[in-house]
Amino acid sequence: MKVGIIMGSKSDWPTMKLAAEMLDTFGVSYETKVVSAHRTPQLLADYATSAKERGLKVIIAGAGGAAHFPGMAAAFTSLP
């Protein structure tokens, strides 16, 4: 299984790192990417749209100041 961890900014890493550490604990592979809903909305859409074909099973999305970020990602994929 592979998980995608996306965040709106590099400054979100200290929080999202905790998800990565938990995945490491369970031996689950993951990728991380910064994709801003404000600065690079098309990159966010492209990431979510192509996630399933790239083998991702789950996307963990978080952004400190953007409550809509996970919803925007979810709008482009059927992955949880």
Distances (CA, A) of 76 to 27, 32, 72: 27, 18, 7
How far, in Å, CA of 25 to CA of 15, rounded? 16
In CATH, what number is assigned to the domain containing residue 32?
3.40.50.1970
pLDDT of residue 42: 96
Any domain includes 80: no
φ, ψ for residue 32, nearest 5 deg = -125, 145
pLDDT in tens, 36-76: 998 999 999 999 999 999 999 999 999 887 788 999 999 99
Q: Is the pLDDT of residue 79 over 80?
A: yes
Model confidence, pTM: 0.93
Any domain includes 23: no
| Structural domain boundaries enclosing 66 | 2-9+11-18+28-74
